[in-house]
């Protein structure tokens, strides 16, 4: 079980990274050096970012992953008021010397290192997809490399649990980072976990070439990759890249089959273990008339949103209006606006749900 600690329990030394939804700091906890990912909360804006709820919730799910799967996990959840009295939420994690972006630009990885890193990433992604999780932002900046040149996939700000293919109008196309978006995402079409396979393919292409793509336009990137992939030499890594970068999602790399390539030397039983679900979704929740009525008032589209609202009520006795509002932030494509509730009240409710809103 992940420990919950106060922001005042850690000693922050310096900022070592920054992103859209968070800042990362080098920090110490009881003398141990860690990275602290502080999720951004604007005290002037009365709004709870869905990305914060989803990332922390997903980290709670990943506490049950096999130790052999290289995914970033939280050592502690950090929650409470900092020394300035501001509400703070985030998590501590292992600190890594480099990310894959650094390794690519510094050009010091051997071909065998690249094969090992590819194997790590294929396993991590196979585990996520087997557990109905789509990452949605795979890129070298979100892949961390330890001193043994082992790769760890992290940053779940855009990750979500999925069931199959997202239908038109039920999910945003604003996923991933320019350069790594799959063709179906660029075109605003429905997508599924195969969008992750494309993003992985682009990342491995950069790894193979020892060069980051210097393109900030989706369409130009797709055209460039289409031409470049044809020129790749025949080897294990280039063949994986070619399979990842198929235009039609259904034709892209099959992760399980790829992991059984003899060059990876993976054990069949180990791969079978990776595919097992490490958590179960609880759909056996009866929705009350009060929640049904409140959901209708809010134009709630998804049944799963109502089930989460009911779960919140059942566990915390919180009122239906606030429960629907929080559930909508988590599951709806367009979360409803806050009207009267304090942001801190929502985070306290999140805390009462053990920082996990997944059913």
Alpha-carbon span 183 to 221, nearest angstrom: 10
Per-residue pLDDT reduced to its tens digit, 269-281: 999 999 988 887 7
Q: Whole-model pTM?
A: 0.92
Chain centroid to CA 218: 21
Q: Give whole-number Cα distances, 247 to 5, 186, 187, 229, in Å.
A: 46, 12, 12, 12
Better-predicted residue by pLDDT, 333 or 147: 147
Angle at 157 between CA 305 and CA 24, to 5 degrees: 140
- Kindly report the CATH number that applies to the domain delimited by 1-95: 3.30.200.20
The tens digit of pLDDT for each residue in 77-120 reads 999 999 888 889 999 999 999 999 999 999 999 999 999 999 99
In the chain, CATH 1.10.510.10 covers 98-274
299: left (phi over 0), alpha (psi -120 to 50) or beta: left
Using an 8 Å Cβ cutoff, are 96 and 229 in contact? no
Cα(132)–Cα(315) distance, rounded to whole angstroms? 25
The CATH number that domain 98-274 falls under is 1.10.510.10
Q: Note the pLDDT of residue 339.
A: 52
In the set 9, 42, 102, 137, the catalytic residue is: 137
Residues of the chain with CATH 3.30.200.20: 1-95
d(CA 82, CA 189): 43
pLDDT tier, 301 (very low <50, low <70, confident <90, very high otherwise): confident
- Give the CB-side neighbour count of residue 147, counting CA atoms within 13 A: 2
Cβ contacts of 74 within 8 Å, gap of 6 or more: 2, 56, 59, 60, 62, 63, 91, 92, 93
Report H helices in 193-342. Answer: 194-209, 218-229, 236-244, 255-259, 268-274, 289-297, 303-316, 320-331
Q: What is the predicted pLDDT for the residue at 170?
A: 38
Tell which residue, 163, 159, 206, 198, has the closest CA to residue 182: 198
Lowest mean pLDDT among 34-48, 123-137, 333-347: 333-347
Q: Which range is least confidently modeled, 94-103, 176-185, 195-204?
A: 176-185
Q: What is the pLDDT of residue 210?
A: 97
Nearest by Cα to 109 from 28, 22, 206:
206
> Is 218 annotated in the active site?
no
> For the chain, what percent of residues have pLDDT higher than 90?
70
pLDDT at 202 over 60: yes
Is 169 a residue whose pLDDT tops 60?
no
240 near 204, Cβ under 8 Å? yes
């Amino acid at each position: 079980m992940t420990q919950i600690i106060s922001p005042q329990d850690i000693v922050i030394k310096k900022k070592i990274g920054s992103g859209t939804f968070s800042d990362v700091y080098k920090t110490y906890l009881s003398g141990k050096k860690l990275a602290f990912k502080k999720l951004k909360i604007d005290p002037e804006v009365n709004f709870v970012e869905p990305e914060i709820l989803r990332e922390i919730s997903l980290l709670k799910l990943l506490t049950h992953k096999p130790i052999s799967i290289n995914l970033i996990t939280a050592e502690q959840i950090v929650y409470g008021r900092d020394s300035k009295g501001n509400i703070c939420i985030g998590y501590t994690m292992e600190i890594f010397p480099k990310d894959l972006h650094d390794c690519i630009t510094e050009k010091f990885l051997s071909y065998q290192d690249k094969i090992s890193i590819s194997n790590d990433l294929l396993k991590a992604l196979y585990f996520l997809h087997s557990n109905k999780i789509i990452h949605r932002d795979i890129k070298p900046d979100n892949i961390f490399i330890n001193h043994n040149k082992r790769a760890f996939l992290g940053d779940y700000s855009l990750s979500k649990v999925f069931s199959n293919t997202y239908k038109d109008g039920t999910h945003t196309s604003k996923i991933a980072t320019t350069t790594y978006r799959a063709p179906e995402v660029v075109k605003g079409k429905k997508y599924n976990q195969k969008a992750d396979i494309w993003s992985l393919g682009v990342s491995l292409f950069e790894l193979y070439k020892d060069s980051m793509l210097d393109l900030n336009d989706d369409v130009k990137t797709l055209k460039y990759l289409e031409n470049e992939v044809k020129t790749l030499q025949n080897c294990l890594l280039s063949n994986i890249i070619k399979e990842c970068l198929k235009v039609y999602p259904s034709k892209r790399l099959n992760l399980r089959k790829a992991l059984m390539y003899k060059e990876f030397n993976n054990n069949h039983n180990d791969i079978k273990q990776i595919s097992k679900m490490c958590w179960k979704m609880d759909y056996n929740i009866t929705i009350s008339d009060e929640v049904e009525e409140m959901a209708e008032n809010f134009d709630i589209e998804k049944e799963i949103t109502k089930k989460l609202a009911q779960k919140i009520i059942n566990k915390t006795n919180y009122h239906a209006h606030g429960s629907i509002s929080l559930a909508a932030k988590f599951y709806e494509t367009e979360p409803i606006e806050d009207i009267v509730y304090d942001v801190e009240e929502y985070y306290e409710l999140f805390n009462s749900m053990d920082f996990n809103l997944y059913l």
